[in-house]
Structure 1
Amino acid sequence: MALELYLDLFSQPCRSVFIFAKKNNIPFEFKKISLFEGGQHAEEFGKINMMRKVPAIRDGDFTLAESVAILLYMAEKFRTPDHWYPADLQTRARVNEYLSWQHTALRMHGSKVFWFKLLIPKALGKEVPKEKMDSALEDLEGSLKMLEEKFLQDRPFIAGEHISLADLVAIVEIMQPVGAGVDVFAERPKLVAWRDRVQAVVGKELFDEAHQSILSAVKVMESLDSSKLQGFKPRIMKLLL
């Protein structure tokens, strides 16, 4: 039985799982969970992940949530090439270091900019206060600087000479604010060169397939019924308070 992947490619963690599975020829059945349509609240999905979040997987009777856990599970179960999650202790530690850091840094700040630039204006019909937008962009800038100066340095990839799960998780997060119209690559040649290397290894066709939804987000929001975003209002208010 093929792995079942519950995904919405608007979600950056879902994109990392999707790219990893396809790049490594892992057989899976794509189960679309539309976040904007409230698919995460369906009774059947609650049996897969009671946290009501994507990505999630089902492998026979086994279910698993959280993107990093899912990536590690697939890497080990399907014995993917060593460079994704290296056996060498110190190289693996570099991957783990980035995966541990990104949740409260690049992930959080890139997501906030996406919400502030695109989703909140659509859901509430008003712009985010300038001081909050400026603060969010400053936090994102700090995370991007840390990615370049601490995690990349002068290496081709985060863990060294070869792409790893760390690079995959990083690139999908960086593409999130890009989907809201923020050019995070402007005046960052090191980041551009790294992005191009990641894209080359993943393959442009797969990279574009995974990011088609997020890069069309502005157009999607223009035609989306704002009432469908009402379920996000409690989260939106937390971001604004």
Structure 2
Amino acid sequence: MPLRLYYDLMSQPSRAVYMFLRLNKVPFEARPVALRKGEHFGEEYKKINPFSLVPVIDDNGFKLTESIAIVKYLIQQRGLPHHWYPTNSPKRLARVEEYLNWYHVNTRLPSAMLIQHLLIIPKTTGKPVNHAAAEKFRQRVATMVTQLEGYFLKDRKYLAGDEISIADIFGACELMQLNACHEHGLYESSTIVKAWMERVKKDTNPHFDEAHQMTYRTHDIYKQIAAKL
């Protein structure tokens, strides 16, 4: 049975796993799960992932429900290039892990919550934008960008060194979410972070653009959406 990927490209972690599989030419059976339709809450999907989240892989009966665990597993199970997750170098590996441990609260949470408050919560509840809450997370994103510039990208081309790793894929997918609501100026204000993002896009295209088509479309129509919220 081929590797199955359950995903929705509205999900940042789904995009990271999808891109990773495409980049490494890992064949997989695509199993889209429409979050906007609530398919992840259905009883059939709960048999696949009781947490009702995406992405998930099913590798011939072996299921994994966390995106970072998924890519680490595939790198080792499929013998993929070490630069993604350098188990052959303790120090380089530690740098990748350093960012991935930092990422959840410092990159993913504020970026995701800013978009939640600007778009997803108002759209799903019909309530107006809570601008005070949005501004709180906007400031947290700004702080995160300063920290990326001053620590993770200081004297480095990529978040964990001079070669692209899974840290860069996960980080870039989170920042790209900001484009959907025209908040990309938060990271583009840093020439260092902006250059890193452009480097990651170049290294991962055409798969980067493929995975972010929905993000680009939302960016193009966001003003129309925002006017109705």
Same fold (TM over 0.5): yes
Task: Map 1:84-103; keep pairs closer than 5 Å.
Answer: 84-86=84-86, 87-103=88-104
Counterpart AA for 1:121: P
Distance 1:221-1:210 versus aligned 2 partners, 3 A rule: farther
Q: CA RMSD in A?
A: 1.8
Three-state SS of the structure 2 residue aligned to 1:103 is helix
Q: Offset at 1:127? A: 2.7
Q: Offset at 1:220? A: 8.5
Kept in 1, the 8 Å contact 2:142–2:187? The answer is no
Q: Offset at 1:222? A: 6.5
Partners of 1:21 and 1:125 lie apart in 2 by 37
Kept in 2, the 8 Å contact 1:6–1:31? The answer is yes
Kept in 1, the 8 Å contact 2:17–2:70? The answer is yes
Q: Which residue of structure 2 lines up, in the alignment, with residue 36 of structure 1?
A: 36
How high is the TM-score relative to the length of structure 2? 0.92
Deviations 1:58-92 (A, max 9, x none): 01111110111001011111111110001200100
Q: Is 8-17 or 42-51 further displaced after alignment? A: 42-51
Kept in 1, the 8 Å contact 2:145–2:190? The answer is no
Q: Which residue of structure 2 lines up, in the alignment, with residue 72 of structure 1?
A: 72
Partners of 1:50 and 1:124 lie apart in 2 by 25
Partners of 2:224 and 2:39 lie apart in 1 by 21
Aligned residues: 223
Q: Which residue of structure 2 lines up, in the alignment, with residue 186 of structure 1?
A: 188
Three-state SS of the structure 1 residue aligned to 2:147 is helix
Partners of 1:108 and 1:43 lie apart in 2 by 28
Kept in 2, the 8 Å contact 1:48–1:57? The answer is no
Q: Which residue of structure 2 lines up, in the alignment, with residue 167 of structure 1?
A: 168
Three-state SS of the structure 2 residue aligned to 1:137 is helix
Counterpart AA for 1:199: K
Three-state SS of the structure 2 residue aligned to 1:68 is helix
Partners of 1:186 and 1:157 lie apart in 2 by 16
Partners of 1:187 and 1:222 lie apart in 2 by 25
Three-state SS of the structure 2 residue aligned to 1:115 is helix
How high is the TM-score relative to the length of structure 1? 0.87
Q: Offset at 1:215? A: 2.1
Q: Is 72-81 or 184-193 further displaced after alignment? A: 184-193
Q: Offset at 1:186? A: 3.1
Q: Offset at 1:124? A: 2.6
Kept in 2, the 8 Å contact 1:122–1:221? The answer is no
Counterpart AA for 2:48: I
Q: Offset at 1:142? A: 1.1
Task: Map 1:158-237; keep pairs closer than 5 Å.
Answer: 158-183=159-184, 184-203=186-205, 205-217=206-218, 219=221
Partners of 2:126 and 2:161 lie apart in 1 by 45
Q: Which residue of structure 1 lines up, in the alignment, with residue 107 of structure 2?
A: 106
Partners of 1:79 and 1:220 lie apart in 2 by 41
Q: Which residue of structure 1 lines up, in the alignment, with residue 7 of structure 2?
A: 7
Unmatched tracts of structure 1, length 5 or more? 224-241
Q: Offset at 1:202? A: 0.8
Partners of 1:142 and 1:160 lie apart in 2 by 22
Three-state SS of the structure 2 residue aligned to 1:157 is coil
